[in-house]
A = this chain, B = another copy of it.
Amino acid sequence: MGVTARKEREKLELRNQILEVATELFLKEGFDKTSIRNIAEKIEYSPATIYLYFKDKNEIFRAIHDKGFDIFFGKLSESQKIENPYMRLRRMGDLYLEFAFEHREFYDLMFVMRAPVEARNEEGNIDWLCGMRSFKLLQATITECMEKGYMKKMDLDVATVTISSLMHGMASLYIRERLVMYDQNILPYLFRDAMDNIMQAFKASPMTSSFTEN
């Protein structure tokens, strides 16, 4: 009989409800002000119940963290319709910052907060998959740029770390309010120029492009 199937469905439903409410509260109030009791009240269950579906608070935020990476990947993927890998890479930069500005809390959870990392370390699992998808997309685009002669050839890891560090640096300095000495309205323009600069730096110099090499 399908009774166990139904129970499993119900169990998943409640789990998802917890996640939904937790996400809502988190995006509205932030991590610290989202308490287990808060979530419990909203789903009309006792606080203890939540611990039947999640090991601890960190695990809840680990799950939200994963959701954030889904949205992030979706956003980055918007660039994939662009044929030219160099233009595509540049577009990915814009989309990255768009995501950070539009979903600050998500961004913070995904790239700054300690909570989801702590949860991962306890699980002992290697499911980096969430973030890895986006990471691989970046790597693939960079590789394509180099292969097709749009970018000068260099170590893939160096290029990847350079680009993602610059992107994360801008996003996180902004989100964590370490750029208050600047007019907040011009920051997007500064960031744009910074991206242009680094793209320029990686651009293949005419003499070493694939057209002359291959």
What residues of chain A have their CB less than 8 Å away from a CB belonging to chain B?
111-114, 117, 128, 132, 135, 154-155, 157-158, 161-162, 164-170, 172-173, 176-182, 186, 190-191, 193-194, 197-198, 200-202
Given contacts A158-B193, A158-B194, A169-B172, 12 further A-B contacts (CB under 8 A): A112-B176, A113-B176, A135-B181, A161-B182, A161-B190, A162-B166, A162-B197, A164-B169, A165-B194, A168-B169, A197-B201, A198-B201
The one of B112, B113, B128, B165 in contact with A181, judged by C-beta atoms closer than 8 angstroms, is B128
Q: Are B170 and A172 in contact (CB under 8 A)?
A: no
Question: Does A166 lie within 8 Å of B164, measured CB to CB?
Answer: no
29 A-B residue pairs with CB within 8 Å = A111-B173, A112-B112, A112-B176, A114-B176, A117-B177, A128-B180, A135-B181, A154-B197, A157-B186, A157-B190, A158-B193, A158-B194, A158-B197, A161-B179, A161-B194, A162-B194, A162-B197, A164-B173, A165-B165, A165-B169, A165-B170, A166-B169, A167-B169, A168-B169, A168-B172, A168-B173, A169-B169, A172-B172, A201-B202
The distance in angstroms between the C-alpha atoms of A149 and B128, with both chains bound, is 45
The residue of chain B having its C-beta at the shortest distance from the C-beta of A132 within the complex is B181
- Chain B residue numbers with a CB within 8 Å of A154 are 197
Q: Write out the residue numbers on chain B whose beta carbons fall within 8 Å of the beta carbon of A190.
A: 157-158, 161
Copies in the complex: 2
Q: In whole Å, how far is A69's beta carbon from the nearest beta carbon of chain B?
A: 12
Closest to A170 in B: B165
List B contacts of A167 (CB < 8 A).
169
Cβ B176 vs Cβ A117 within 8 A: yes
Residue among A113, A128, A135, A172 having the largest count of chain B Cβ atoms under 10 Å: A172
On whether the beta carbons of A111 and B178 are closer than 8 Å, the reply is: yes
- In the complex formed, the residue of B with least CB distance to A157 is B190
Chain B residues with Cβ under 8 A from A191's Cβ? 161
- Report A137 CB to chain B, min CB distance, Å: 14
